[in-house]
Structure 1
Amino acid sequence: MNLHVLPLAITMMAGPQIMCALVLLTARRPVAASGAFVAGVAVATCLGVVITTGLASALSLGAGHREGSFGKVLQYALVVVLVLLALRNWRNRETADPPAWLGSLQSAGPGRAFRAGLLLIGLFPSDVVVLFTVGITLSQDHAGPLAALPFVLATVLIAAAPLLTYLLVRDRAEAAVPVVRDWLTGHGWLVNIIVCLFFAVLILV
């Protein structure tokens, strides 16, 4: 597939997704919970690619590269939405609070962690947009879902990065994870702005 979509894997995990991965490392069974979360991300990403590729092909969203094509119009509409979301995050930065469910994951077991990975990737608006972008790209290239394997692997690797780091340098990670988690929780609005603008630029390039 076109390799320009690979950076979208970063967007898939930026925001609550990566914060969720960090919070799970402070759970009672961090390795089991984090592994289940990564599995949920993998399943949701694979299903998302299959579904969006099928829809893009069925609706001819990737037909042609004409400026007036529906796919191109949709891309421009997404850029506008992303810019508006970035402005909203900036405006509400002083009152932004982390979602309550994020903190509750500290007591999550593998089953709940798996569902968190599944739902965050499958239902989170920015991830749905990314998956549709990948689906449209595959449709434009007349490629099947298997062509998205590099994108899927990159997304799963990013999701697993906190767990892999924890396993490699466990003592240091146990001290660093709460610090990183707290910073991300307090600056979630900044992460969201960066993600929105980063994704908007990728769409326009």
Structure 2
Amino acid sequence: MNWLSVLLLAVVMIAGPQIISAVFLASSREPKRSSLAYLAGAGLAGIIGLTVWHFAFHLVRGTGGGQDQHDRTRHLIDWVVLALLVALMVNVFAGRKRSQPPKWMNKLQAASPRFAFGLGFLLFIAMPSDEATMAAAAGSLAGHGQPWWHLLPFLALTLLLLALPLLILLAFGQRAVAVLPKVRDWANEHSWLVSEAVILIFVTIIVSDLLK
């Protein structure tokens, strides 16, 4: 398992309400402060989730003695990760027809930084799709003996992708008012296709590893 392949799952982490909320916050009353607070909340949730899952899978891998036992445990973790990815694909496909963001997102135009922080934390720590994605990423690395810090580039890329609306705002200023709705609409209509493609690639990697 090449740890670089885990980076692909960062796209799945932000697809859906996560990136759409980031777009709304970038055009809110306090766009910079609210967006940074949102990223901070998401980052904290990511650190907690990835650490817990990596520790859990590492404990499972650490049980037993010989090389044969380690190989069996590694394959067991691969099967668990594969099951998580299949469940994630089903979940993404089931939500593909949500053409409009939830009504509560309209309230983000007046969101305070404190509220944005809590939203970022809750969206990443409580969303089943993100929990499954973090578990898959952590399991893939822990199951193959990779250290915890190898998950940090995955988290960093997740936050970078989540920061795109803020970066657009900083780059284009007032012109971003016209650009951001287009980003939101595109993400709302096509993010599920991108997520499915990424998950399918990762499933292929896991299957090829199991067949070795």
Q: Indicate the TM-score class for this superposition, using the shorter chain for normalisation.
A: 0.7 to 0.9
Residues 193 and 66 (structure 1 numbering): CA distance in 2 closer, same or farther, change over 3 Å? farther
- Distance in 2, matches of 1:9 and 1:83, equals 15
* Identical amino acids, percent of aligned pairs: 30
Q: Residues 90-129 of structure 1 correspond to what in structure 2 (within 5 A)? A: 90=96, 93=97, 97-129=100-132
* One-letter amino acid matched to 1:17: Q
State which drifts further: 150-159 or 76-85. 76-85
Query: Normalising by structure 2, what TM-score?
Result: 0.81
Aligned length: 199
1:197, distance to aligned residue in structure 2 (A): 4.1
Residues 121 and 142 (structure 1 numbering): CA distance in 2 closer, same or farther, change over 3 Å? same
Residue 162 of structure 2 is aligned to residue 159 of structure 1: yes
Q: Secondary structure at the match of 1:28?
A: coil
Match for residue 150 of structure 1?
Answer: 153
Uncovered stretches (5+) of structure 2, i.e. residues with no partner? 64-68, 206-212
- Distance in 2, matches of 1:183 and 1:81, equals 24
Match for residue 40 of structure 1?
Answer: 41
1:67, distance to aligned residue in structure 2 (A): 9.8
1:20, distance to aligned residue in structure 2 (A): 0.6
Match for residue 8 of structure 2?
Answer: 7
- Distance in 1, matches of 2:8 and 2:108, equals 28
Residues 99 and 199 (structure 1 numbering): CA distance in 2 closer, same or farther, change over 3 Å? same
Contact 1:85 1:196 in 2 (8 A): no
Q: Residues 69-108 of structure 1 correspond to what in structure 2 (within 5 A)? A: 69-90=75-96, 93=97, 97-108=100-111
* One-letter amino acid matched to 2:132: V
* One-letter amino acid matched to 1:81: A
State which drifts further: 66-75 or 159-168. 66-75
Query: Normalising by structure 1, what TM-score?
Result: 0.84
